[in-house]
A and B are shown apart, each in its own frame.
Chain A
Amino acid sequence: MEKLSASDVIAFLRMLADEMPTHKERLRELDAEIGDGDLGVTIAIGMKAIRDGLPELEGDEPGVILARSGMNFNREAASTFGAIFATALMSAGKHVRGKAEIEVEDLPGMIEAAASGVSARGGARPGEKTILDVLLPMAETLEREVAEGSSLPEAARAAHETCLEALEKTKEMEAKHGRGGWLKEKSVGVQDPGSTAICLMVDCFARFVSGGDQS
């Protein structure tokens, strides 16, 4: 797959919404160590809201589908992660506003837009154990991949590898935001639960654009 049409975006979100709730227990456990343990449930509820909202988005452009899906997630699963994740999808969607298809060249800008949206919304900076710490390295990787002329599946797989490496590095970071922020140095050693969820989503995306084959 070299481009994502509106119906591709809907198909991807459906696959994502089916897959993410299967990681509910793992995310809950991670979040319980340094957060309030609600991330697994938040993702399960929010992803269901995304899935339920998809039929109404048939006919919209890809950017609008992403943005409205973010709103749908946060409506049913209102929470810090809900707001941050919704913001990421809205910012990424806004970046491709007016386009009928998403191409590989759009991806670095979309991830950068998501990162700056998240930063503006929640006030986080790099190195504070948030999803910014996986989004920013992925944006860099994607820029390089585009410059090297990689295909969409190649770029997506490279982004996923970067995401996993960056996720590993969040273990050493001290949380400054949310409930983890109160734990300070006790949060060191645990990988960021939100970033873990993002990596799982990117993995799903990479498989989707590679033709849906299993990882």
Chain B
Amino acid sequence: MKKLINDPFEFVDETIEGLLLAYPNHFERCEGSDRALKRADGPVEGKVGIVTGGGSGHIPVFLGYVGPGLLDAVSIGNVFSSPSPDDMLAATKAADSGAGVLHLYGNYSGDKMNFGMAAEMAEMEGIEVQTSLVADDVVSAPVAERDSRRAVAGLMFAYKVAGARADEGASLAEVKEAADLAIFNTRSMGVALSSCTIPAAGEPTFEIADDEMELGMGIHGEPGLRRTKIMSADEVVDEIIANILPDLPFEEGDEVAVLVNGLGATPPEELFIMYRRVVHRLDEAGITIRQRYIGEYATSMEMAGASVSLMKLEGDLPRLLDAPAYSPLLPQWPK
């Protein structure tokens, strides 16, 4: 293991400490938890609160999405493991201004179980809670079992859309509706070139030869579509697009937002090389790109690789993507 860390078991807490020192005007701890952060200016009076959470090791997911026009609070687990229901409850209380709270997070069993408990406790305390689960990774289950798919970088679209809708003063039901539309319309697939190492584990999460890649791998190293000899950027994009387009399906005449996401160790140059091929492929398919995001939006520490996400734009989605939003951990939202 080659990392710039101290005690591996302090990895998460020292990350939070550094973040709070770096952005004291943006983040604050939630009352009663060392593993929950909120917007420093929150909760916003009259606004529906949005809370997320999950394991650490994916910055800017999850805490980097807390901010104006985005999320209100986040609960933070150990690397790749769920936060506790107490942290989630602390975040939920910190996000509530009386208008209710949306729990918006990735479809992972530990997070679901713990958020479920936090939601029950919040309801006991008089806070109305609704839940939306992001499940965008097309290779993790067939389309007929969409509910069991895992979440990857498509989280970004759900966060942005829900955050903007809440900012407009929408009700909890309306914010959930917007989030669910973004989730339903988003499809993603990735590729991993090298593993990451969980600090407290000390060993790489999986073995992969220097000349191999895994198509469709999840952001914790979950098995993908297949292990293969390294392919060119164009070949990888072609295969990803071939898997994503028929899944929704995306069709000629559709407008989409595109996210080309780096997993941590892949340089921006390679993401632009991939994006260029995405544009060519979508042009050929008669699909118009209205918004594009290229950079690190959901990582896996030092894993090399990338993912492509498409969200079909319908109804309010273009407006909500364009709405102002800010977090110091995210690139600006392009118009």
Contacts and interface: CB of A to CB of B under 8 A. Distances in A.
Interface of A: 63-64, 67-68, 71, 74-75, 78, 83, 86-87, 90-91, 93-94, 97, 117, 120-122
28 contacts: A63-B124, A64-B124, A67-B121, A67-B124, A71-B85, A71-B86, A71-B117, A71-B121, A74-B84, A75-B84, A75-B86, A78-B84, A83-B113, A83-B117, A86-B117, A87-B116, A87-B117, A90-B117, A90-B120, A91-B120, A93-B124, A94-B120, A94-B123, A94-B124, A120-B116, A121-B113, A121-B116, A122-B113
Given A83-B113, A83-B114, A67 B120 contact: yes
Contacts of B123: 94
Contacts of A67: 120-121, 124
Contacts of A120: 116
Interface bracket on B: 10 to 19
A63 B126 CA distance: 13
Nearest to A75: B86
Interface string B75-107: 000000000111001000000000000000000
Chain B contact surface mostly: helix
Contacts of B120: 67, 87, 90-91, 94, 117
Given A67-B124, A121-B113, 16 more contacts: A63-B124, A67-B120, A71-B85, A71-B117, A71-B121, A74-B84, A74-B117, A75-B84, A75-B85, A83-B117, A87-B120, A93-B124, A94-B120, A94-B123, A94-B124, A97-B124
A33 to B, nearest CB: 25
Contacts of B114: 83
Contacts of A91: 120
Contacts of A86: 85, 117
A86 to B, nearest CB: 6
A87 to B, nearest CB: 6
Contacts of B113: 83, 121-122
Interface string B110-122: 0001101100110
A148 B116 CA distance: 36
Closest 4 CB pairs of A and B: A90-B120, A67-B124, A83-B113, A75-B86
B84 A90 contact: no
Contact of B85 (A63, A74, A122): A74
Contacts of B124: 63-64, 67, 90, 93-94, 97
A94 B89 CA distance: 16
B111 to A, nearest CB: 12
A87 B121 CA distance: 10
Nearest to A117: B120
Contacts of B89: 71
Interface in B7-40: none
Nearest to A72: B86
Question: Taking each of B85, B86, B114, B116, which has the highest tally of chain A beta carbons within 10 Å of its own beta carbon?
Answer: B85
A74 to B, nearest CB: 7
Contacts of A75: 84-86
B86 to A, nearest CB: 6
Interface string B271-313: 0000000000000000000000000000000000000000000
A86 B120 CA distance: 11
A90 B121 contact: yes
A91 B124 CA distance: 10
Contacts of B117: 71, 74, 83, 86-87, 90, 121
A71 B89 CA distance: 10
A98 to B, nearest CB: 10
Nearest to B87: A75
B107 to A, nearest CB: 14
A97 B85 CA distance: 20
B195 to A, nearest CB: 26
A121 B124 CA distance: 17
A110 to B, nearest CB: 14
Nearest to A61: B124
A125 B122 CA distance: 26
B153 to A, nearest CB: 27
A90 B123 CA distance: 10
Nearest to B126: A97
A57 to B, nearest CB: 13
A74 B82 CA distance: 13
A68 B125 CA distance: 11
Contacts of B86: 71, 75
A71 to B, nearest CB: 6
A64 to B, nearest CB: 6
Contacts of B84: 74-75, 78
Nearest to A123: B109
Nearest to B116: A121
Contacts of B116: 87, 120-121
A64 B126 CA distance: 12
